[in-house]
Amino acid sequence: MIVVKKEVVGNITVFLIFFCITLGNSQFFTEIGINNFFIYIGYSIVLMKILYEFKTNLTSYFVKRLLLFFVLVYLFSIGIIKQNNLENLTKLNLILSMCLIALVAVLSEGILNSTEQFKFISYAIFWACILATFLAVIKGVSITSLAVEGAGGSNYGFTGGLQHKNYFGVASLAGFISAYISNKKENKFLLWVYLIFIIISNARTAYILFILFIIISNATKIKKINMTKAQLRLVMMLFSIFIILLMILMYKKVTSGSESYQYRYQGLVNYLNMYGENKFYMIFGNAEMAFRNSGQSYTYNIRSVTGWNGTTELSLLSILVKNGLIGMIGYIIIFGYRLIQILSMSFSKIKYDVLAIWVIFFTSGFVETYVANINLVFNPFCYIAIGSLCSIYMKNMSNDDVQFEMEEE
């Protein structure tokens, strides 16, 4: 009888989750209409893993998170249920997608049990993109997409076989972060490969988020400087101010000055101009407009009503349309809950790795749809990485290697 170690099963599970979800955004599989099959497999594995953890680790802490999960499902779903002109099957699909977000947001702690497991996320995204690129080339599908305001004088970005270069950019960022957290010394080859991927994606959002991650995750290096506690507090305060100013500068110089971002912002303005005075749509969302059975896409449904001079690529707009302000409360609870956990940690490598992921994920909500889009691997990666790192910290908080440096490489 062959006995498979629990650790091996866990590693395979992590690999399959992110391999399948990444492939779910493959241009090849999207064109032949089976991309959702891979996404369903990925999230099915997530669900099975969580159910297993529920069975084996039924603690009061897990029960609290389970109650939070049901609160989030209610906040995310009540607006969808109240849409009288929306087909029941569409309602069911939307509610299912919101259940998945709540699932990975607050019940994902047991999916990764150590920082070493993050390397399997890195492997999974890498091989999924390689396969997606190969299939796209075989089918003759374009592996570049237009960059409205490309860097380095280029108007195109490499897609890695995915549906858009922006999606490939943040998928590569997730792969980079995974290799970095796992063991940046042992994973130098992967780190360089992903850095090249990020660059050739020509995705400015990926560039900005990458810089923010590197700066924040390296905050532990400050501890190596010989300082008193008062001096350390002062340096950390100045460091925090620097990060805030950097984010403001990026917003003013890169984001608000971007023509493509202005189109996204205009989409939100158009929606608020049309529905801002309608209490029902503002509180409960307007899914019946966005997801109506018109034979057209979600984007077409919204822009054909609110105006063609604005796009639908902001998470803020997506949440307002799909869930309304009551659903927005759910996202505020998720990010607030995790931020409280992170800030309660001691000065450690894990603390600033997870804080860096929290910051870039939160920031992405103001420029892209990643926070609310479960079809893109960056979404479950951030939710699962944040939850898992919080759990790993809690399990090891009494160990000397967690306090302060966590064996800083």
**Is residue 372 domain-resident?**
yes
Shared domain check, 66 and 151: no
Shared domain check, 325 and 280: yes
What is the token pair recorded at 320? 């307002």
Beta bridge partners of 158: 144
Shared domain check, 331 and 266: yes
Shared domain check, 157 and 71: no
> 156-158 and 144-146: which strand pairing?
antiparallel
Domain boundary among 172, 202, 232: 202
Helices (DSSP H) in 228-311: which residue ranges? 229-250, 259-275, 279-284, 287-290, 298-306
46 vs 28: CA distance, rounded Å: 24
What is the token pair recorded at 385? 């990485």
CA distances from 407 to 224, 357, 396 (A): 12, 20, 13
The total of structural domains in the chain comes to 2
Shared domain check, 270 and 171: no
Q: What angle do CA 135, 136, 137 make, to 5 degrees?
A: 90
Shared domain check, 302 and 251: yes
345 touches 351 (CB < 8 A): yes
**Is residue 227 domain-resident?**
no
197 vs 106: CA distance, rounded Å: 30
69 touches 107 (CB < 8 A): yes
Burial classification of residue 382, based on how many CB atoms lie within 10 Å of its CB (0-12 exposed, 13-18 middle, 19 or more buried): buried
**Is residue 213 domain-resident?**
no
272 touches 65 (CB < 8 A): no
156 vs 302: CA distance, rounded Å: 27
Shared domain check, 296 and 276: yes
How big is the chain by its Cα radius of gyration, in Å?
Answer: 21
Shared domain check, 279 and 161: no
| C-alpha dihedral (259, 305, 300, 164), degrees to nearest 10 | 20
**Is residue 100 domain-resident?**
yes
Domain boundary among 202, 223, 258: 202
**For position 308, what pLDDT does the model report?**
87
User: Domain range holding 24?
Assistant: 1-57+114-202
339 vs 355: CA distance, rounded Å: 8
Q: What angle do CA 184, 373, 20 make, to 5 degrees?
A: 60
In one letter, which amino acid is 338?
A: R
φ, ψ (nearest 5 deg) of residue 144: -130, 155
What is the token pair recorded at 41? 């497999």
**Is residue 356 domain-resident?**
yes
Shared domain check, 140 and 9: yes
**For position 409, what pLDDT does the model report?**
44
CA distances from 171 to 26, 113, 122, 129, 242 (A): 12, 22, 10, 9, 27
Sequential pLDDT tens for the chain (409 residues): 444 577 888 899 999 999 999 999 999 999 998 999 999 999 999 999 888 877 777 677 778 888 999 999 999 999 999 999 899 999 999 999 999 999 999 998 878 988 999 999 999 999 999 999 999 999 988 898 866 555 555 568 899 999 999 999 999 999 999 999 998 888 899 999 999 999 999 988 899 899 989 988 887 776 666 666 676 677 767 777 776 776 666 656 555 556 666 788 888 889 999 998 999 999 999 999 999 888 888 889 999 888 888 888 888 899 999 999 999 999 999 999 999 999 888 878 898 899 999 999 998 888 888 999 999 999 999 999 999 999 898 887 755 444 444 444 4
Q: What angle do CA 159, 161, 163 make, to 5 degrees?
A: 65
Give Cβ neighbours of residue 169 (< 8 Å, ≥ 6 apart): 157, 197, 198, 201, 202, 203, 205, 206, 207
The H helix count followed by the E strand count for the chain is 18, 2
**Is residue 166 domain-resident?**
yes
